[in-house]
Amino acid sequence: MIKTSFLPLLILLFLGSNVTAQYSNYNYKAPVEGIENQWHQLILPNELYAHIKPDYADIRIIGITEKNDTIEAPYILELNKNITTLSKIEFN
């Protein structure tokens, strides 16, 4: 009887520890400051590019509520496209 009631408790403890450790193992964290409205624009700091994947798939915006709950904010990533300009320079 003890073994059957102990197994679900062990599983719940494992899952609980896995969920709380989800956001603590990132290599780089930066605070998001100056949020005043629901919609806003964030400019990624230059230091961030050394720590992220080339396809930007590992960027997360995570908030912590007053009750210490974590929420992940959805975002749209808009990349600036490189503009190449060709100029003819006269040379004597």
CB 50 within 8 A of CB 39: no
Cβ contact 57:86 at 8 Å: no
Q: 6-30: buried (b, 16+ CB within 10 Å) or exposed (e) per residue?
A: eeeeeeeeeeeeeeeeeeeeeeeee
Q: Give the residue ranges of DSSP H helices in 1-92.
A: 2-20
Q: Please tell me the predicted confidence (pLDDT) of residue 76.
A: 86
Per residue of the chain (92 residues), what is the pLDDT tens digit? 445 566 666 666 665 554 544 555 677 888 887 778 878 888 888 888 888 888 888 888 888 888 988 888 888 888 777 777 788 888 87
Task: Find residue 62's DSSP bridge partners.
Answer: 72
What Rg do the C-alpha atoms of the chain give, in angstroms?
A: 23
